[in-house]
């Protein structure tokens, strides 16, 4: 394939053109507040098949359907519990994906053959403008995983999308440049098919925020969380396949090493309060856990750009988004 088109001026006209391209079966990479997504009309099986081809993604890995507001949730989900509605009201638009029992619109080519579907409303002006323009011409949702090759580091800039996927996309496909992503790690994924929320992938919508919103205990890693320090082990239910849930994922070409003292020639990512040893290549020095999440993938990509063989990361401690950062790093450290 020849490289895709790069659109740096995301005007209303550009959004209309991008929506028409989606309607005609093309692909559009677009920014969200988390990472960039690679989008297709969620009701077009041939267009969705192109996503899998471009990414090199296994066909049984489900996609997330993006819509412009929670008012469209009922089109894609057949059962919506009260606590899911509370979460949607509190955190959409935002970095949260809800897993629900699917409706007739959510076909197997979206769900990976499961009876559930993931839906979210992104919080980015370009993403919302694209969704609204698409809905105006009859598109009910945009299916979009992260705009990277399967298992690789997710892109948080349009340039990263172009470098990663440009050669795999068709020349008529688009990459919309909406700047750098504000959050930097993928959305929190919450299973809403049971009696209480179950976190399948941590993100910027944290355990504490979910508990406060719903007034319920939540379930993560086979344990109940009540908003305090305690965990209670429970029998795990049947697993739902979701994006980014493999043990090895989010991986650069370099080997990622966690919580060790870096040595000469290695890349290094750690909070700014941790000094850089002599001869070590500093890739990022965030001052907060939020900055850590925002710059993590860019730093990992920079390590690859510099041809580094190993990148040492001192993981951020504590709760909140640090949980999501540690989740991504644990998978990255397993390679691809």
- The pLDDT assigned to 236 comes to 46
Average pLDDT of span 1-30: 86
Alpha helices per DSSP H over the chain: 12-23, 45-55, 73-76, 82-91, 108-111, 125-136, 158-165, 207-214, 289-305, 321-332
pLDDT at 227 over 60: no
- The pLDDT assigned to 176 comes to 96
Domains defined along the chain, listed by start? 5-176 (3.90.870.10), 255-332 (3.40.50.11030)
Among 67-81, 128-142, 173-187, 237-251, name the one with the lowest average pLDDT: 237-251
pLDDT at 242 over 90: no
- The pLDDT assigned to 231 comes to 41
Q: Given pLDDT bands bounded at 50, 70 and 90, which one contains residue 1?
A: very low
- The pLDDT assigned to 221 comes to 64
- The pLDDT assigned to 5 comes to 76
pTM (two decimals): 0.92
pLDDT at 243 over 70: no
């Amino acid at each position: 394939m020849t490289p895709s088109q790069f659109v740096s001026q995301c005007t209303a006209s550009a959004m209309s053109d991008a929506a028409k391209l989606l309607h005609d079966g093309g692909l559009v990479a677009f920014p969200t507040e988390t990472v960039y997504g690679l989008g297709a009309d969620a009701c077009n099986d041939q267009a969705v098949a192109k996503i899998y081809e471009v990414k090199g993604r296994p066909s049984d890995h489900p996609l997330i359907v993006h819509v412009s507001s929670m008012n469209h949730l009922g089109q894609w989900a057949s059962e919506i519990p009260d606590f899911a509605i509370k979460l949607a009201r509190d955190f959409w638009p935002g970095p949260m994906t809800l897993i629900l029992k699917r409706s007739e619109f959510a076909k197997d080519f979206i769900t990976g053959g499961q009876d559930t579907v993931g839906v979210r409303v992104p919080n980015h002006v370009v993403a919302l403008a694209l969704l609204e323009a698409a809905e105006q011409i009859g598109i009910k949702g945009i299916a979009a995983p992260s705009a990277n090759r399967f298992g690789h580091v997710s892109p948080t800039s349009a340039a990263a999308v172009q470098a990663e996927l440009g050669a795999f996309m068709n020349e008529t496909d688009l990459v919309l440049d909406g700047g750098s992503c504000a959050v930097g790690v993928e959305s929190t994924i919450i299973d809403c098919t049971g009696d209480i929320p179950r976190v399948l992938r941590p993100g910027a919508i944290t355990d504490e925020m979910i508990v406060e919103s719903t007034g319920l205990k939540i379930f993560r890693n086979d344990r109940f969380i009540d908003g305090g320090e305690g965990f209670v082990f429970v029998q795990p239910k049947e697993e739902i396949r979701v994006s980014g849930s493999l043990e090895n994922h989010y991986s650069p070409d370099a080997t990622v090493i966690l919580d060790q003292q870096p040595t000469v020639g290695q890349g290094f990512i750690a909070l700014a309060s941790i000094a850089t040893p002599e001869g070590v290549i500093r890739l990022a020095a965030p001052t907060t856990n939020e900055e850590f999440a925002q710059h993590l993938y860019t730093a990992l990509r920079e390590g690859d750009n510099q041809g580094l063989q190993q990148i040492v990361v001192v993981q951020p401690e504590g709760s909140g988004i640090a949980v999501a950062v540690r989740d991504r790093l644990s998978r990255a450290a397993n390679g691809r």
